[in-house]
Amino acid sequence: MITRGINISTDFILSLHKELLIVFSEHYSIEIKMLTVFQLYGFGNYDDKLPNLKNFIVEKTGKWINGKYLYNKTKDIDKGHSNHIKARREYLMLLINAAGYKDYEDYLKNSPHISSEIRITEETNFNNDIVSDEILYYIGYYVEDRKYYIKSKFTIHKMKTASWEILYWEKELEPSFYTYLGKCVSTGESALSFYFNKENSSLNKECFVNLFYGNNMKTKPVLLGAYCGFSRNNNPVIGKLVFEQVDTLELQNEKVRDKEINPNFHYYLHSQRMEVEGVLPQKVSDLSNSLSRLKIVKFLIGDYHGFYLDNNNYLIPVS
């Protein structure tokens, strides 16, 4: 998945927006004017069980998107500051796929809602500079709930930006991906940090990742790191990470779907996660995980006489 931004004409995004609304309306047999803005785009005060564009895009693509993204883009266009607008490639692809097209080129060629002028303007835009873009691909591993191992795709672009797509097998045949998009922050000669804010997250959660790579990142088959973020219950959570380098996007997509995990990664990550409980103690003594354990600790407190065996197997008191 390409994460660099792309400058597209406002006419292009408006045409795509119009087509999405038509497809959405036909899919649910519903009139757009009957929905509030929140319900239509799927953010703020809306009912997740009723039709909305956010869930429609997820249903069509299998990938999550921030419901407010498309709404914000149309609002930016309404301001009339420019004839072009910058969009994230991966989000743009989700919108195009949801409208029923294979890719950017397929949409440009076959959409009945864009003019020949837009086609001429945009036909080479999407692929500009992609070949020269330096991209590093990784398969990520971490453990959730101390025993459930999670795979992910971690992609770094020119050591400036990154996408972290976390895979969950919520459906039997096809996985769901939850995406974080963020920036790379150099923290020294042998480490990198990545900050993912909630506005660019399909989970609407913030996350921070630290990676150690040593002296030459590109030559290392495996990177080690740690993450700090929030669990599905919105509790603070930290844990260890392993990122395994792969050569291509195709190999990354293939390997992340393989449910087998290297036993070495399994052993290294076992129980390497800590989640802060969502209930605060009423008093200090409540911090004890177990009352029975606390009783044992209190029982063991005291003075003891120690002995050890010498070479002749005699018990010698410890002075």
> Which helix (H) or strand (E) segment is 144 a member of?
strand 135-144
Domain count for the chain, please give it.
2
Give the Cα separation of 72 and 52 in Å (integer).
16
Q: Which tokens is 211 given? A: 């990676």
Q: How far apart are CA 156 and CA 158, in angstroms?
A: 7
Distance between CA 88 and CA 251 in Å, rounded? 23
- Of residues 219 and 43, which shows the higher confidence score? 43
Asked if residue 63 belongs to a domain, the reply is: yes
> What pLDDT is recorded for position 126?
57
Burial string for 32-48 (b: 16+ CB within 10 Å, else e) reads eeebeebbbbbbeebee
Asked if residue 144 and residue 92 are part of one domain, the reply reads no
What pLDDT, on the 0 to 100 scale, is given for residue 16? 93
Range(s) of the domain holding residue 64: 5-122
Could you read off the pLDDT of 208-264 as tens digits, one per residue?
A: 999 888 777 777 889 999 999 888 788 899 999 999 999 888 999 999 999 888 889
Q: Are residues 118 and 55 in the same domain?
A: yes
Residue 100 within a domain? yes
- Domain co-membership, 93 together with 208: no
Is residue 318, in this structure, part of any structural domain at all? no
For residue 166, what is the domain's CATH number? Answer: 2.40.128
Q: What are phi and psi of 87, to 5 degrees?
A: -130, 150
Q: Tokens 């195009």 appear where?
A: 96
- pLDDT, tens only, 157-202: 878 888 899 888 877 677 888 888 888 876 666 788 888 877 666 6
Distance set, CA 204 to CA 26, 171, 178 (Å)? 29, 21, 10
Instruction: Kindly state whether residue 14 falls inside one of the protein's structural domains.
Output: yes
**pLDDT for position 131:** 42
pLDDT of residue 129: 43
Residue 289 lies in a domain: no
Provide, rounded to the nearest whole percent, the portion of the chain with pLDDT above 90.
27
163 inside domain: yes
- Does 12 map to a domain? yes
pTM for the complete prediction?
0.55
